[in-house]
Structure 1
């Protein structure tokens, strides 16, 4: 079976299994890139049964040396290949899962960048676009991913009961996120007085397009950070890190943070238990 045909069948399987659109798009992009690499390497379309462990090893090396992909990106690509070849083996397209002979990509563990409460206030004041300012505050006070936030519909945001219903988040999972007493009045005011007159079902919408793009949000975040003279990279995802980090600092139970973030395991959530040098200094001086 041609590799690209197997890929399409694998993606159809993911769709039938109700995996999220983001997951299916990501897997498709990774596998088509691998197909392009093998086609160029062997000057012809590859077949699933002909692919070897060395092909995968060389591909990961090519991603590192030629494309300069970061470890996290290469690790994601490898995870995609593992998932594909596991499925191929179960369906007897191959006699063995060649990906099992390849070592995974080690990702250096480093501290997550996050903003303090003071920095969040400074950032919000520096954003000169009212709708983007509200979106940023919403992400910070809920921990929503930018895609989850911008995909919210009017029906997803229950202002009467103070709850946001995240539909088909990462991993195609739904979850409920309470709206804080600080954020709730801001969202109510937005809906009653400020939201654009548009037929768009999206909660955060502009009059012109009926939606807001992640690129537009990140543009304004970068613009605000530059105006503040910050050297750190500020993107939408740093707001999610900041949400989790501030809850950890306030001694909120990790299991509760895990549920709010929609993480599949505590291991993922535990990366937010970092401490800065001032906190560590205060700790040792307790002795």
Structure 2
């Protein structure tokens, strides 16, 4: 099998079997294309060996690519060769023993509970946009949603009486996420007082949060909403919608929540992704010791 044929088959696999979003598919194919160009057509996909891949990693490292970029490219290449093995195009996986660059995992910025309260309570509820923004940020913090999940949240998937949202996350996978009473309260106010006055565009009738033109909010708009709310509350940290998601998870772990439950709510495929919040929790405990222990 030649590279163009293998890449086309891998693309169909990513789209149809794994259900990845178009941007994710393009990212995989772009990284795989870099490997194909490096091998320059001299080595077919079914004859690639571990040494070829180490030479590729060494080359992209010398190009000055960051460790995280190298690790991402290696992840895509591993997925490709696993696909070839599953399709019986190869008997072995040359990436099985491949070791990528070590990553230093940066702990995300997190707001304290009092900072979250200041952020939410500082929003001006006298305007339609303020009422919507309060409801939206309450939902982000209450349920730990990604920004893409909140802008695509549908009314028909909000089960307020039961206290749950049905969210469509990465890879078009759906999950049930609990929502708190405060988030429900402010969302109901928005739905009752603000949303009915909008001229809702065709195709957005079921979208919960809309812009003033009656269409879905953009991701960038949500970033601006969070940034402006932080400035109004006097918060000096550089934050984004994702900060509310991190804060949601951190506050749960600090309160003693089971890590598997947090993983399910966040929609993480691997518990290893969720374990970062145990590190945040340890930092919180160390800070508590320093502040309150007489001999710290």
What range is the shorter-chain TM-score in? Answer: 0.7 to 0.9
Q: Find the counterpart in structure 1 of residue 119 from structure 2.
A: 123
Q: Find the counterpart in structure 2 of residue 49 from structure 1.
A: 46
Q: In 1, distance between residues paired with 2:162 and 2:178?
A: 9
Deviation digits for residues 200-253 of structure 1 (CA, Å, limit 9, x no counterpart): 121112243611111221233344445666554312211111001111222223
Matched ranges for 1:216-227 at <5 A: 216-225=221-230
Matched ranges for 1:41-190 at <5 A: 41=38, 47-49=44-46, 51-66=48-63, 68-69=65-66, 71-94=67-90, 96-124=92-120, 129-130=129-130, 131-167=132-168, 169-190=169-190
Counterpart contact for 2:138–2:182, Cα < 8 Å:
no
Give the CA RMSD over aligned residues.
Answer: 3.1
Unmatched runs of 5 consecutive residues or more in structure 1: none
Q: In 2, distance between residues paired with 1:268 and 1:49?
A: 32
CA drift of 1:63 comes to: 4.4
2:269 aligned with 1:260, yes or no? no
Counterpart contact for 1:165–1:174, Cα < 8 Å:
yes
Q: In 2, distance between residues paired with 1:62 and 1:133?
A: 49
CA drift of 1:270 comes to: 2.4
Paired residue secondary structure (1:135): helix
Structure 2 length normalisation: TM-score? 0.80
Q: Find the counterpart in structure 2 of residue 35 from structure 1.
A: 33
The verdict on how the C-alpha distance between 1:11 and 1:192 changes in structure 2, with shifts beyond 3 A counting, is: same
Q: In 2, distance between residues paired with 1:99 and 1:165?
A: 37
Paired residue secondary structure (2:96): helix
Q: Find the counterpart in structure 2 of residue 208 from structure 1.
A: 213
Q: In 2, distance between residues paired with 1:86 and 1:156?
A: 35
Moved more, 204-213 or 92-101: 92-101
Counterpart contact for 2:138–2:186, Cα < 8 Å:
no
Paired residue secondary structure (1:104): coil
Pairs aligned (count): 282
Structure 1 length normalisation: TM-score? 0.82
Deviation digits for residues 241-281 of structure 1 (CA, Å, limit 9, x no counterpart): 10011112222232332222223344332221223342233
Unmatched runs of 5 consecutive residues or more in structure 2: none
Counterpart contact for 2:141–2:245, Cα < 8 Å:
yes
Q: Find the counterpart in structure 1 of residue 192 from structure 2.
A: 192
